[in-house]
Amino acid sequence: MEKKSILFMGTPEFAVKSLECLVNNNHNLIGVITALDKERGRGRKIKFSPVKDYALKKEIPLFQPKNLKDQNFIDKIKNLNADLFVVVAFRMLPKEIIDLPRLGCINLHASLLPEYRGAAPINWVIINGEKETGVTTFYINSKIDEGDIIDSKTIKIENDENAGSLHDKLMTTGSQLVLKSVENIFNGNLKKKKQKISKSDKLAPKISKDICIINLDESADNIVRLVNGLSPYPGARIIFKNKNYKILKAIKSNTYHNNRKQMFEIDNKIILNNNLGESIDVLMIQVEGKKVMSSSDFIRGNKI
């Protein structure tokens, strides 16, 4: 009996783990769709997406359409006759693509749906102080992250978790959930369920520049959560003495340093005061145009 076939769609490192998991478990990957190559860095060198790098290494047929609605592209994908489309960290698909595979089009989302639908669930669960999150596989429909749920897996969010460490945990957990979901679909062991969408659901919109600005009217706990939720990228920012600083790691201080400026040095540390009588120890910092440093290293060569 011929193996059922998969067409995979994804772009960043987060997607590679799921693709790799499917390949390592001998699933029949007949194609990969990923984003167009981009120019990056000062030299404007062409850079492939992590998914493209992996597909080339494994010699999986690769597609990089400019327009997902282009009829020539749709015809090519249709002629592959893939049984299932698996999507991880890609983009919204047109109905013409969603309707092609006979076993459907599934997606991995980095939250416990229906909570935190949107572009940045990993950031927002930390910013909002959640104690747990997870990953969900679901069938794609015409609405963003609202299709029928296939399966989910919950993980704990540690107190010092940042977006980078949580990303890596969810990437690994998610790859295993993708594998389990695909095999349940292929084996006919699937029990999907409809999402109960509510106006009270917490959402995860794209991180804007405004969200990255530290508001000193917020509590120290909220500021630390913002720092963690935006670290290592794009970073929580503060402008002080006409300089743009990113704060990449911080903890609430046990001591309030009163009668001080908003940001200052003391005892070989950088301290940030909010407007509520609380102090924050800044542990990792980056001034615009410079590398990320520990506060103690920064102080040795710079002045706040």
Same-domain check for residues 174 and 274: no
Same-domain check for residues 152 and 40: yes
| Closest listed residue to residue 86, CA positions, set 186, 2, 164 | 186
User: What residue type is 284 in one-letter code?
Assistant: M
Q: What pLDDT score was predicted for residue 190?
A: 86
Tokens 């120290």 sit on residue: 220
pLDDT tens across the length of the chain (304 residues)? 578 999 999 999 999 999 999 999 999 999 999 999 987 766 678 889 999 999 999 999 999 999 999 999 999 999 999 999 999 999 999 999 999 999 999 999 999 999 999 999 999 999 999 999 999 999 999 999 999 999 999 999 999 999 999 999 999 999 999 999 999 999 998 889 999 999 999 999 999 999 999 999 999 999 999 999 999 999 999 999 899 999 999 999 988 888 667 999 998 899 999 999 999 999 999 998 899 999 999 999 888 8
- How far is 144 from 56, CA to CA, in rounded Å? 30
Which region holds residue 247: left if phi is over 0, alpha if psi is between -120 and 50, else beta?
Answer: beta
Tokens 């993980």 sit on residue: 155
Same-domain check for residues 65 and 98: yes
Same-domain check for residues 158 and 14: yes
Q: Residue 279: inside a domain, yes or no?
A: yes
CATH code of the domain covering residue 295: 3.10.25.10
Contact 299, 287 (CB under 8 A): no
CATH code of the domain covering residue 181: 3.40.50.170
Same-domain check for residues 150 and 286: no
Tokens 């046990």 sit on residue: 254
Strand ranges for 209-259 from DSSP E: 236-240, 243-252
Q: C-alpha dihedral over 144, 148, 154, 157, to 10 degrees? A: 10
Which domain covers residue 286, as residue numbers?
Answer: 209-301
Domain termination site, one of 187, 217, 232: 187
Tokens of 206: 């794209």
